[in-house]
Amino acid sequence: MKGYIKLENGLELAGELGDEAQPETEGEAVFFTGMTGYQEVLSDPSYQNQILVFTYPLIGNYGINLEDFESKRPQIKGAVFYECCEAFSHYEAVYSLQAYLKKWKIPFLHHVDTRYLVKNIRSSGTMNAKITSVPAANVPPIKLPEHSGGETSTHGNGIQHTVLIDFGFKKSILTALIERGQKVTVLPYEKMEAVFDLHPDGVVFSNGPGDPKQLAGYLSAVKKIARAFPVLGICLGHQLLALAHGEDTEKLPFGHRGANHPVLDRETGKVFMTSQNHSYVVKRNKGTQELKIRFENVNDGSVEGLFHPEKQILSVQFHPEANPGPRESEWIFDEYKAMMNQTGRVAIYA
């Protein structure tokens, strides 16, 4: 059955509806440039309310396994592919990508000229979009995703205790912490002040969907926590730490979503490849300068991470937990651990 993706700027492209029973969806159209990693990306909570366009022309060829989910369900509102292949081959795969999307009633469109579509999004900027079976549909305004923190839960049995403040965390962040000897308490962000009763060795502010300014009501709590414990902020968590310290954020024209974004560490002069998924960034040279820039994006010079010169505060815009993408920034978790042991950050960079 024929279907369409219509953008807010009027562009309409035809394709084939993947699931005729689910022909309609709306969301912010964003694009992901990785060649692999679709399972992790589709289940990453930071993609809530978005229609995800895959730039790589063949997606789905290694199927879906039971291990690589970043959360319990797909988080996107819809997906667009050039080819979303039905046949798959991988020793761990249990069903096809198409079957996964159909199971969760996620509308998707394939056989779309995704190259043309993405070039249009790149020149017009991120826009709202609609997937539909009806040509010339209207694209309604899209609401920002609601942050909804989950349940409090405890994981791992390490000696050190990290509280992970949950804005919609990726499972791989939890795994990276447990692998580094942490007992982790996941705390929904609405209850973040309960961290003071838990007396952890450190606190991690997670990734999450939407605009960080939606969470303005929590910034004083974020700052209070950053004054009391060694803290690491990842993606949305980084943006919140910045806002809490008087910095500002802005929206990028079409975001960074992929597995090969080069980042420069200004401390060491080293460049490494990172996994990224964000629309918003911390503005350069704004605010109080209480936090300093540690990392920057090599392609567009945007801020990729901050630190506090005297306190144990580190934040990264990229995803050190990878999944999908390169693992060469996993050492950020080791640096967080060194901060907790009071041997990192201040000692290293004073």
Q: Active site includes 235? A: yes
Interacting residue with ligand GLN among 59, 163, 192, 235 (CB under 6 A): 235
Task: Tell me: is residue 208 an annotated ligand-binding position.
Answer: yes
Q: Which residues fall within 8 angstroms of residue 326, CB to CB, at 6 or more apart? A: 259, 260, 272, 273, 274, 275
CB of 49 to ligand GLN, least distance (A): 10
**Annotated binding residue at 277?**
yes
Active site residue 84: no
**Catalytic-labelled residue, pool 28, 235, 238, 256:** 235
Asked if 261 touches ligand GLN (CB under 6 A), the answer is no
Residue 52 labelled as part of a binding site: no
Number of residues in contact with ligand GLN under rule CB under 6 A: 11
CA-to-CA distance for 82 and 114, rounded, in angstroms?
Answer: 6
| Binding of residue 277 to ligand GLN (CB under 6 A) | yes
Rule CB under 6 A: say whether 338 interacts with ligand GLN. no
The 15-54 contact track toward ligand GLN, x by CB under 6 A, reads -------------------------------x--------
Q: Is 7 annotated as a binding residue?
A: no
Residue 229: which of 116, 314, 111, 128 has the closest Cα?
314
Q: Which of 280, 295, 307, 336 is the binder for ligand GLN (CB under 6 A)?
A: 280
- Give the footprint of ligand GLN on residues 56-95 (CB under 6 A): none
The residue among 161 and 294 lying less far from ligand GLN, judged by its C-beta, is 294
236 near ligand GLN (CB under 6 A): yes
Residues 6+ apart with CB under 8 A from 21: 102, 105
User: What's the closest the beta carbon of residue 281 comes to ligand GLN, in angstroms?
Assistant: 7
Query: Which one of the spans 33-41, 100-108, 274-282, 338-346 is the region binding ligand GLN (CB under 6 A)?
Result: 274-282
Q: 330 catalytic, yes or no?
A: no
Closest distance of CB 136 from ligand GLN, Å: 30
Q: How far is the CB of 145 from ligand GLN (least distance, A)?
A: 8
- 239 annotated ligand binder: yes
Residues 200-229 that bind ligand GLN (CB under 6 A): 207-210
81/280 with CB nearer ligand GLN: 280
Catalytic residues: 235, 319, 321
Residues flagged as binding site: 46, 208, 210, 236, 239, 277, 280
Q: Which residues in this chain contact ligand GLN in the complex, by CB under 6 A?
A: 46, 207-210, 235-236, 277-280
- Which residues contribute to the annotated binding site for L-glutamine? 46, 208, 210, 236, 239, 277, 280
